[in-house]
A = this chain, B = another copy of it.
């Protein structure tokens, strides 16, 4: 299958290049980067020298539609909404890694993203690509809105207790932490090494655009609208997201019982690993891989459940999950091209 990547010099894009290089059924024939068109990918990213020898191209919708079957859009928010319609009209399936098609409500998008939203007809066609949860819908999708990095870690961590109505949804508090690659490759004072190194910073408090994405999915599952507290932090590391999630339990239940529920829930899902009682995952234990690892603890003193979930923000939080969705879309084994063991240490 021939594939194209749009947004060729961002981190998610080059991560797609890395992962698809190992995919037996996909050939990345076109990498689009309007800003670097005409140069080789390895001029921007020397690490692909001798491995991926491609010239970056500028976007030509017609040519692209005729030459590939699938397009990954790894563009900044506000870009893919103008590209996707043209591709879909020509019968090309799209997997959008940006936030443009994740929120059903155009109004909510405009409120949180401060951009004009995509056309509502296309918003309605988009399938939310949280692979483990919406497997069936993804299989028949034409446009996949690949989830955000934070929502992936959060929703995989919460889904078993949400679906089993084990917690009081009004009490959900999420403390989220991310490595710096989540901010993308654009230069800014906020990503300057000397400002980030040996530093921990909270940002976008109460204002992160992933909040409505999480709330929308929770509402889908519970039928109720419920605001959550979601606080984001920048950690001095390159890759990795950890979400530490707290909620009041509806019933008295032990850690062991909740773990059993999680193990059953994710039994058939290769990429979610539930850790044994008393142990918790750290971000590096999934680095470079498509795993989401989960640990949890019931605190009898407070009646609260604390869930820890970790992912590599560029893999399960972006490009890896996009490939997982491509596998679902094509009826391939979901693990195809994603068998890498985490790089540790």
| Chain A residues at the B interface, C-beta cutoff of 8 Å | 11, 14, 17-18, 21-22, 45-52, 171, 173, 175, 177, 179-181, 185, 187-189, 191-203, 205-206, 227-229, 231, 233, 235-240, 242, 244, 246, 270, 273, 275, 279-289, 293, 295, 297, 299, 301-302, 304, 306, 308, 310, 339-345
Contacts and interface: CB of A to CB of B under 8 A. Distances in A.
A313 B231 CA distance: 22
A48 B293 CA distance: 11
A197 to B, nearest CB: 5
Contacts of A345: 11, 181, 194-195, 197, 238-239
A308 B233 CA distance: 11
Contacts of A22: 339-341
A188 B238 CA distance: 17
B200 A229 contact: no
B297 A205 contact: yes
A187 B185 contact: no
Nearest to A180: B193
A118 to B, nearest CB: 24
Given A14-B344, A206-B306, A237-B236, A270 B50 contact: yes
Contacts of A200: 177, 235, 237, 240, 242, 282-284, 310
Identify the interface centre among A21, A236, A310: most chain B CB within 10 Å of its CB: A236
A83 to B, nearest CB: 25
Contact of A47 (B49, B52, B242, B284): B284
A25 to B, nearest CB: 16
- Please give the count of copies of this chain that the complex contains: 4
17 contacts: A18-B342, A46-B281, A47-B341, A50-B273, A179-B194, A180-B193, A180-B194, A185-B189, A187-B189, A191-B193, A193-B197, A197-B237, A198-B238, A198-B240, A199-B240, A229-B299, A233-B242
Contacts of A239: 198, 345
A284 B198 contact: yes
Contacts of A270: 50
A229 B302 contact: yes
Given A187-B188, A284-B47, A297 B206 contact: yes
A76 to B, nearest CB: 16
Given A46-B281, A229-B302, A280-B202, A194 B191 contact: yes
Contacts of A283: 199-201
Contacts of A189: 185, 187
A304 B211 CA distance: 15
B242 A275 contact: no
A188 B308 CA distance: 23
Given A21-B341, A345-B181, A308 B244 contact: no
Given A49-B285, A229-B304, A343-B343, 18 more contacts: A17-B341, A21-B341, A47-B285, A49-B275, A173-B173, A175-B231, A179-B198, A181-B194, A187-B187, A199-B237, A199-B284, A201-B282, A202-B280, A206-B306, A227-B301, A229-B306, A235-B236, A236-B237
Contacts of A173: 173, 246, 304
